[in-house]
A and B are shown apart, each in its own frame.
Chain A
């Protein structure tokens, strides 16, 4: 018997479809179908300047948009060999960790809701609202953040960031304690997630798994530790790793990662010092307004950058950051012009969703939903 799940389905986290071949209630095989949210990011970026592509990156992983902004700007900066100011690096780390917490909050609580544990959703979404209030104070938007620019960030952190985030983290720790109390040793959850959708380390690596799904199998690969960028090497934090690579491990690796991100945020807030947030190279960064209105060079620089865009040297780079779901890669090919020749986004959940037929084979239909949630597939990132 064939059962179609999606693309409009309450348990599909986004717009994608799976056709299951069933034998009774056991899944014999599965075929996923994606592309419902394909918005041609890569084609569009070929006709926009590098800065004009940044708003498109918000819409990739729309649950943690700031991380996409950072990943893309890092790639362009690698291509153009631009070194951003120190405070900009700290701010980018701060927004990445805050976004990681937001993404994991959604991933875990929606997964638990699909399994039937409804209360946790509110505990976690309350915390997410508090962090999103800070993001809104930071850049004016909850989802369409477009916060980073090539050469730095758009605007400095709001006042009272320290106090606001400290309050959010305190609430987050309380919420995690509540949720763990309800779920970690819960017999029903363990029966529904232990041993479900397990994958071996070798298979996970072969499929290109990265992020929490790979760490749940026991491989401690985290881009922030293997290829540190910005100041991740100077901070104290651990990489949580699972044992069996099943749904239970994927859920609780994310919960542990939230605790580690909280540690990172506290250290970042302590160590961040005041300073410039944008480089002063006028061929890359917009000049400050008093220069634009006060000097002819400023006006010309502003005009050229906005109308034509800045042109990095010809060449190609592959730049990668640890996004919430894994290694988010940007492969940018430049022909020396102001518009990118080719951008390829390497979405972490693309590699993970490929393995879905293997993960669900032999399980029940209800497990198909539990496994889907644990992989945290974000359609925006999957289809671009």
Chain B
């Protein structure tokens, strides 16, 4: 497993901010600018063909407040890797990896819905778990647990079907 982190460090040098190993899990923090290159390299050269999970995390004490965590898996080699990208609140934009792993679609929508992290290049970045008129981003640490929202009107859902880049097209 160490070889994967070593190969990444060798190929991408500076773009790898830090690596860690804890309880058998290998983690690699990458700079946002090189994220797509690293992901393509992982998928094509190191056969990480499945992205099992993508989620956001909020660390309000840090400058780079939001973290997007990718859990990657290689079905052939049975290897796992955790990839992370950190972004500040003022510029919470991360390139979307939908083209690399189709699984990213809804997971990125959820990170947008619950944290407000924008994914550049996502075909349909709408809220997914909260209703479409929800205000705020629920899983941020400063969103109070007990806030009651207003009752929403139903979402007609027709827009993504009519727009050229909607789901399924």
**Which of B7-15, B32-40, B124-132 is found at the contact surface with chain A?**
B124-132
Residues in B whose Cβ lies below 8 Å from that of A342: 57-58
A307 at the interface (CB under 8 A from B): no
Contact between A327 and B168 (Cβ–Cβ < 8 Å)?
no
Interface size class of A (residues with CB under 8 A): 35 or more
Residues in A whose Cβ lies below 8 Å from that of B52: 208, 210, 320, 327, 329, 346, 351
Q: What's the dominant secondary structure at chain A's contact region? A: mixed
Shortest Cβ gap from B30 to chain A (Å):
16
Contact between B168 and A31 (Cβ–Cβ < 8 Å)?
yes
B128 contact from A35, A210, A315, A331, Cβ within 8 A: A35
A-contact bits for B125-162, CB 8 A (1 contact / 0 none): 00111110000001100010100000000010110110
Contact between B22 and A19 (Cβ–Cβ < 8 Å)?
no
* Residues 32-73 of B at the A interface (beta carbon under 8 Å): 49-53, 55, 57-58, 69, 71
Greatest chain B CB density within 10 A among A17, A206, A208, A317 is at A208
Interface size class of B (residues with CB under 8 A): 35 or more
Residues in B whose Cβ lies below 8 Å from that of A350: 106-107
Shortest Cβ gap from A226 to chain B (Å):
5
A31-B157, A35-B130, A331-B69 known; A221-B75 Cβ under 8 A: yes
A29 contact from B69, B103, B114, B167, Cβ within 8 A: B167
Residues in B whose Cβ lies below 8 Å from that of A383: 129
Shortest Cβ gap from A266 to chain B (Å):
28
Chain A interface residues (CB < 8 Å from chain B): 2, 4, 17, 19, 21, 29-35, 38, 40, 42-44, 47, 78-79, 81, 203, 205-208, 210, 219, 221, 226-227, 315-318, 320, 327, 329, 331, 333, 342, 344, 346, 350-351, 353-355, 357-358, 361, 383-384
Chain B residue nearest in CB terms to A33 = B157
Contact between A344 and B23 (Cβ–Cβ < 8 Å)?
no
Contact between A43 and B138 (Cβ–Cβ < 8 Å)?
yes
Contact between B49 and A227 (Cβ–Cβ < 8 Å)?
no
Contact between B158 and A355 (Cβ–Cβ < 8 Å)?
no
A-contact bits for B94-112, CB 8 A (1 contact / 0 none): 0000000111011100000
A34-B129, A35-B129 known; A29-B166 Cβ under 8 A: yes
Contact between B161 and A315 (Cβ–Cβ < 8 Å)?
no
